[in-house]
Amino acid sequence: MARGCAVSQLARLLPGGMEGSEMTKHLRLPAVMEVTGLARSTIYAQIAEGKFPAPVKLGSRAVAWPETAIIEWLNSRPSAAAA
């Protein structure tokens, strides 16, 4: 998935887009998987290797990723066009 497409897809998933938000939004695992194109096991393997942002705990059994961390990760990835 090209970086520009992923970021625009993320904007569509989020209510109100990504602009004008002072409050940090958090993405649950299904949204992170959809935006990044990665499987659950790959996300957690990359977290263990330090290659993907770690989630934050929302409760005793719930985690989510700050949208800014996912956007930064997407922007740090080499795009297919650069190859």
Q: Can you give the pTM of this predicted structure?
A: 0.70
Distance CA 3, CA 82 (A): 11
With a cut of 90, say whether residue 20 has pLDDT above it. no
Q: What is the pLDDT of residue 24?
A: 83
Q: What are phi and psi of 63, to 5 degrees?
A: -130, 160
Q: What is the pLDDT of residue 23?
A: 75
Contact, 27 vs 63, CB < 8 A?
Answer: no
Region 10-39: mean pLDDT is 79
Q: What is the pLDDT of residue 58?
A: 94
For the stretch 64-77, pLDDT in tens is 999 999 999 999 99
With a cut of 90, say whether residue 13 has pLDDT above it. no
For the stretch 29-53, pLDDT in tens is 999 999 999 999 999 999 999 999 9
